Amino acid sequence: MQLIKETLTPVTRSQRGSSLIEVLVTMVILMFGLLGVAGLLVNGISNTASSESMTKANQLLADMADRMRANPAVAVSAGSEYGHNFGTAIPAATSTTIALKDLRQWLTAVQGQLPQGDGNITVDNTKRKVLIEIRWTKCMGTLSQADQTACNDSPSTAFQSVTMDLRI
């Protein structure tokens, strides 16, 4: 058996600890990269929630438009029962007309599916035109500090809305 003798190069004083410094620099660079990824994840979650609310609002607009198209004589009549303003009470559960039942079901869905959701329907019977609007708060979930401050300082910017013009 033959012994193999390894020859090691002598370590000079200037080379000591250089690998430790390299590891620390690498860890700092990695930390900044991970912080950037975390910020992107939070932003992505916020955008996903906003997109989900927008999709629900568009589906609810289409739902009410279909309900009104199915009942056109009442939808554009003078004093239409489909008319509703933001903040007004939902029609009673004992409503007997189709229009009031449609309005109740729609407003209940808006309030149930969107945070602080509310609906507004304006009927212009002379032009047979209907304006349907849904609004909801965008001040929930993961927001940046600037968005939270804007929501607290100005309630008018706290809501997002979607509208649909409909001719019947």
| Total-model pTM | 0.71
Number of residues written out for the chain: 168
CA distance 163 to 136: 12
pLDDT tens by residue, 96-109: 899 999 999 999 99
Q: Measured between alpha carbons, how far apart are the two ends of the chain, in Å?
A: 100
- Indicate whether 24 pLDDT > 70: yes
Q: Which pLDDT does position 93 carry in this prediction?
A: 85
- 3-class DSSP state of 124: strand
CA distance 164 to 23: 58
Q: Which pLDDT does position 142 carry in this prediction?
A: 52
Q: Which tokens is 6 given?
A: 């390894």
pLDDT tens by residue, 54-92: 999 999 999 999 999 999 988 888 888 999 999 899 988
110: Cβ contacts below 8 Å, ≥ 6 apart: 60, 117, 118, 119, 134
- 3-class DSSP state of 18: helix
pLDDT tens by residue, 110-155: 999 998 899 999 999 889 999 999 999 877 655 567 777 777 777 6
CA distance 143 to 139: 7
